[in-house]
């Protein structure tokens, strides 16, 4: 099946109802999610236009056809994301009075299986990853602080790069970090283990920013070598840092994999579902449960009970 190039999607001029609906939804999303959402929404609009359909003229058969198109063209995880975007647009159209009901209601979605969860580090792999960082340099201290934060708190990379010095606080005698730019624009907090706060303080001291203004970015970029700049890290830079540091110890890892590692290691350490859901700031416990189920699939499996020793 044919895929529409991203460059062509950018050039699409949307009809006013679709443009206004897209804008309404985009305004409810975190900045880090808007680019992907916009591309997926424009793909949906392009697919409709190719069939002389509009947002206000859709029926269930049209949505079944769009779902089939996604299933035949994209990987399951991508198709699931694009389908969710289309459904959200239609929900917004209902809210705006453009549709009486969402024509996607009752149309089967896409399953995202447990095995599609990101790779999670084992405890010894996590330790090897951190131990391999040369903390004698300011750059090494920054990367150590960043990776410890991702791994020990489950914070998302977009949330990490948005942190400021002033977001480091104390509450009830514990170190915390305030997350002002969370997913869905939600404000939250994460408890900082003492070792993580110490790593952050060591990094700030090394770059001469221990007394920086509260609004100054927490994690900054470096020029070639060991030369810090007063410029916040970009989310893409976080991805490169994680990937490169992991490659040193022969591991394939991403920022989302670091978050998956936090969740998995918390379960393995004995935390219950409610605690891990709260720590990961998942709205739906089923999202957290996927990581627990994946671990339990092999750790505690039905086959182990069929022929007991």
If pLDDT is split at 50, 70 and 90, which confidence band does 115 have? very low
What residue ranges do the domains of the chain occupy?
Answer: 6-112, 123-299
CA distance 279 to 260: 12
Average pLDDT, the chain: 83
Query: What was the pLDDT predicted at 297?
Result: 54
Query: What was the pLDDT predicted at 9?
Result: 45
Show the tokens assigned to 176.
């915390």
125 three-class SS: helix
Counting other chains too, the contacts that 159-164 makes at CB distance below 8 Å and 24 or more residues apart are 159/183, 160/218, 160/219, 160/233, 160/238, 161/217, 161/219, 161/232, 161/233, 161/234, 161/235, 161/237, 161/238, 162/232, 163/217, 163/218, 163/219, 164/214, 164/215, 164/216, 164/217, 164/218
Crossing angle between the packed helical segments 138-153 and 235-248, to the nearest 10 degrees = 100
Is there a common fold for 6-112 and 123-299?
no
Show the tokens assigned to 293.
């189920």
CATH fold group of domain 6-112: DNA polymerase; domain 1 (1.10.150)
174 three-class SS: strand
Which CATH entry fits the domain spanning 123-299: 3.40.50.150, 1.10.443.10, 3.30.1300.30, 3.40.50.1820? 1.10.443.10
| Selection from 95-109, 156-170, 181-195, 295-309 with the highest mean pLDDT | 156-170
Which one is predicted more confidently, 205 or 281?
205
Beta carbons of 32 and 100 less than 8 angstroms apart? no
Query: What was the pLDDT predicted at 183?
Result: 58
Beta carbons of 127 and 88 less than 8 angstroms apart? no
Residue 226 exposed, middle or buried by CB count within 10 Å (0-12, 13-18, 19+): middle
H or E element in which residue 220 lies: strand 220-223
Find all residues with CB under 8 Å of 300, minimum gap 6, and list them.
none
Beta carbons of 21 and 92 less than 8 angstroms apart? yes
Beta carbons of 17 and 98 less than 8 angstroms apart? yes
Which one is predicted more confidently, 293 or 119?
119
Whether 233 has a pLDDT exceeding 80, the answer reads: yes
């Amino acid at each position: 099946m044919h895929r529409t190039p991203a460059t062509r999607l950018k050039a699409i001029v949307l009809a006013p109802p679709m443009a206004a609906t897209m804008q309404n939804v985009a305004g409810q999303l975190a900045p880090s999610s808007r680019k992907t959402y916009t591309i997926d929404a424009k793909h949906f609009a392009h697919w409709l236009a190719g069939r002389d359909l509009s947002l206000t003229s859709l029926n269930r058969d049209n949505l079944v056809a769009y779902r089939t198109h996604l299933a035949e063209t994209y990987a399951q995880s991508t198709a699931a994301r694009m389908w969710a975007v289309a459904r959200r647009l239609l929900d917004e159209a209902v809210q705006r009075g453009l549709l009486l009901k969402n024509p996607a209601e009752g149309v089967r979605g896409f399953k995202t299986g447990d095995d599609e969860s990101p790779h999670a580090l084992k405890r010894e792999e996590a330790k090897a990853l951190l131990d391999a960082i040369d903390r004698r340099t300011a750059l090494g201290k920054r990367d150590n602080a960043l990776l410890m934060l991702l791994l020990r708190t489950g914070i998302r990379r977009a949330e990490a790069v948005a942190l400021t010095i002033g977001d480091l606080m104390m509450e009830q005698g514990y170190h915390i970090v305030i997350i002002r730019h969370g997913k869905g624009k939600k404000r939250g907090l994460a408890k900082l283990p003492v070792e993580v706060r110490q790593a952050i303080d060591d990094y700030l001291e090394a770059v001469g920013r221990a007394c920086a203004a509260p609004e100054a970015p927490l994690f900054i970029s470096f020029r070639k070598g060991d030369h810090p700049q007063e410029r916040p890290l970009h989310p893409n830079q976080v991805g490169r840092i994680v990937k490169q540091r992991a490659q040193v110890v022969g591991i394939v890892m991403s920022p989302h994999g670091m978050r998956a590692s936090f969740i998995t290691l918390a379960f393995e350490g004995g935390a219950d579902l409610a605690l891990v859901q709260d720590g990961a700031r998942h709205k739906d416990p089923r999202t957290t449960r996927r990581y627990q189920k994946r671990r339990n699939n092999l750790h505690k499996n039905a086959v182990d009970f069929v022929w007991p020793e």
